[in-house]
Structure 1
Amino acid sequence: MHAWPASEVPALPGKGRDLRIHDTATGGLVTLDPGPVARIYVCGITPYDATHMGHAATYNAFDLVQRVWLDTKRQVHYVQNVTDVDDPLLERANRDGKDWVELAEGETALFREDMTALRLLPPQHYIGAVEAIPGIVPLVERLRDMGAAYELEGDVYFSVESDAHFGEVSGLDRAAMKLLSAERGGDPERPGKKDPLDPMLWMAAREGEPSWDGASLGRGRPGWHIECVAIALDHLGMGFDVQGGGSDLAFPHHEMGASHAQVLTGEHPFAKAYVHAGMVALDGAKMSKSKGNLVFVSKLRRDGTDPAAIRLSLLAHHYRADWEWTDDVLRDAVERLGRWRAAVSRPDGPSADALVEEIREALANDLDAPTALAAVDRWAARQDADGGTDEGAPGVVSRAVDALLGVAL
C-alpha cells in the first residue's frame, strides 16, 4: 500500500531542541533521545467515514513530532497502518450495500488526499492489515505454542496473564478495563475465556465474511491488536520511540499490543513513550462514526476552506486537550491565516531570529502549538504596527512556520 506525497520541509538555521512529551504509561513528561534515527508508529484509520476532524487532529499531532525531530537534524522512520478489514468496516459495507474492499480503498484514497492537502508528512511504510496477514499468522502461532494463547471454538485468544507488565500502559484498574473492552471492540462477556479481558488474536472464518489461510490456525482473519504489533515489529523492532494515536487507543489497543509484543520478544517496553491525542467533539459529544456527528476535511475543502486554515484550527488546541469544533474555531483560523500571510508578504519586517527559537521551545515542550501560534501572532502584530528593517525576516518567518508547524504561507 502506498502513502501520499511528501511536502518539502524547509531547512532552518541552527538546531531544534529534544522533545519533551507526555507519556501515558508514566503519567508525566519524558525527554526523548532517539539517536540519529527516530522511530514512530501511529495507528491508522479503519477506512470508512474518513477523514473527520478527530482523525485530522490526531495525525496533525504526530506530524509535529516528526517536524520537531527533523529540526534536530535526525532522520525519522515513521510507520502507519490501515485496518482495512475489521468488524466496523464490514458492518458499514453491509449497511450501505457496498463491497467492503471497494469501500476501504475509496476511503483510504480520500484519506490520502486529505493528508496531502493538510501537508502532513507521510509514513515511510503505510501497511494495510490485509497485506500484513502473512506476517501476523506466525506471531499468533508462536504465542499459542508459547502457552500465551488458547483456542476457543476455533478462535484464538491472547492470555493477558502471560504478560507481567499488562496494565502498565493505561494504568487502569480491571473494572475500568472491562467497561472499555466492551465499548471498544472486545468481548469480555464471552463464555469460556480464561480472563474476560483476553483479546482475540485470530477470528475463525465466519459465513459471508472474508477470510484468509491461517496455516495451522485455519481460515480466518486477524484481531485488531496483533495487526499493529506485526507491522511495528517488522519495520521498527522493539523499543521504538513513540507509539501514537488518539486517547481512545490507550486501552485496549495500545495496552494489548504492548503485551503481545513483550511476550513474543521477552523484551520490555514495546515503545519508550505512549503518546495520545485528545478527542474532538461536535455539539457536545465526541466526534465519532457511531454517533454520526462528523465534520469532514474533504467537505470543508470542497466548500472552499483553505487547508492551511483547517490546519491552523487544529494547531490552536493543545494536542492532548479535548475540544469542540465550532464555526468560531474555523473563523478564527481563517482570520489568523490572513494576518500571517499579510505580514510575510511585505519586503522587510522585525527580526525573526527570536521568534524561531520561541516556536522551537514551545513545540519541544510537549508540542505546545498554541504557544507557538501566539508567538507568531505577536511578530505579525509588530509587523502590522511598526514594520521593521530586516529584509530577510518575512522569509524566515514563512520558512519557520512551514518547517515547524506545517502551514504554507
Structure 2
Amino acid sequence: MSEFSLSREEGIARGERALVVLPDRGDGGSGGARSVEARLEEAEGLAEAIGIDVVGRRAFRIRQPRPSTLFGKGQVEELGRLAEEHEAGLLVVDAGLSPVQQKSLEEGTKAKVIDRTGLILEIFGERAATAEGRLQVELAHLDYQAGRLVRSWTHLERQRGGFGFLGGPGETQIEADRRLIRDRMAKIRRELEQVRRTRGLHRDRRQRAPWPVIALVGYTNAGKSTLFNRLTRAEVFAEDLLFATLDPTMREVGIPGFDKAILSDTVGFVSNLPTELVAAFRATLEEVSSADLILHVRDIAHPDTDAQKADVETVLASLGLEEGQGPPRLELWNKLDLLAGDERNAVLAEAERRDDVFPISAVTGENIESLREQIGARLSKGNIVHHIRLPASEGSRLAWLHSRGEVLESRMDGECLDLAVRLSPENWTRFQSL
C-alpha cells in the first residue's frame, strides 16, 4: 500500500515450510463434487504457486464448525503438534476464516495461519504485472484486510481511564488505519472506474473496426495460455502452475475467412474465487461479455473437469453470462495428449456426438488447424450474402468488407463496384452505420 503500511502477519516468505489443512464437512462443502484428495491437491498447488514448501497435508472432519476456531479443540491441539513435528511455521487452511478464527488458530497452534482467500490474494499480488492488475489486487486485498486490522494492534492498550469520549491508543490507531483504508479504496475505485470507461471506449472502437474478438476462459491451469501461444505464435508466460496468467493479453490471430481476428487471454478461474477478487476484476472480465465468441478451455484429463466447468460457469453467470446468454460459446476439451486407450476414445466419441465441443491438445498442436476452421465457421454462422454497389473511390469501406466479411464476387460497372459479400447480421448493421 502506497499511503500506509500494516504489519501483515500473513505475509509469506518463499520457501516457508507449511502444512495444508482442509476442513471437511462431509457433504462436499464448498468443494462441491470434488473429492477430499482433489481439494487437498489443489490447495497444495495454490501454495506451491508462490514458492511455499508444503511439507504435509491433512483433512479434518468437521461436524459442527466452531465460531472461534472452526476446528474442534482436540483438532487445534493436533494441528499444533503436526506443525511442530514438521517444523512448519505456516498453516494453509483451505477455507474462509473469520478474523477471530484466524487469530485463535494462530494462538492455539503457535504458527502463522492463512486462509484460502488470503492465499489467492498473495498469488494475485505476486503475479500482477500491469498498473491495472496491481490496482485490482490492492483493492481486493484492502477489502480483505479491513476486517483484520484488530490483529495488527493487539499489543496496544485497548481501553484507558479518563474522559469517556477518548478511546485507548490501540483503538485510535485502528480507526486511523480504517480511515486510510477507506480513503485508499475510494481512490482505487475511481481509478478503476476510469479504466472501465477506457476499456468501454476501446471495445466500442473494436466493434467499429473490422475484426472479431475471441475470448479464452477456463479454470486455472487448463491450458489457456499454451493455446493462446499456439494460435498466435506469441510467447505469453505459460507454465504448469496455477494462475500463471493474471493480466489479460490480446494478440492478432489468423482465422480462415477473416483478414484477422483478436484473441484475448484472461485470468484463470478457481473454485471459491474470493468475492473481493471477482468484484475487483470485473472491469477486466467484462471483456469476455463483449467478445464475438467465447472459447471455454477445459482440462479434459483432470479428474474434476466437470466440477471445474461448473465453477467457470458460476463466475460467468456472475457477469450476466448464464448458459445460452451473451456471445456464442465453444468448449475446447484440451490436454488430449494426457489421455490414452479407452479413455481417449471415449472422449473423442463424445466430442463427435456434440456440436458444442472440440477436442484439442495445445501442447502437441493436435487439431489446432481444424480448430481455426471451426472458429471461422462459428464466427460466420448466420451470415447472409448481400449485394452491394460502392463507388470505386470508397477504398476504406471496400477494405472493411474484405476484412470483416467474405467477398464472393467483385465486378466493375463504370465508376462503381458491384459486390456480393457474405456478412454476419452484426457486421451488416455495422457496415450500414459506417
* Rg comparison, structure with higher value: 2
Q: Identify the structure with bigger relative contact order (alpha carbons < 8 Å, sequence gap 6+).
A: 1
TM-score if structure 2 supplies the norm length?
A: 0.27
TM-score if structure 1 supplies the norm length?
A: 0.28
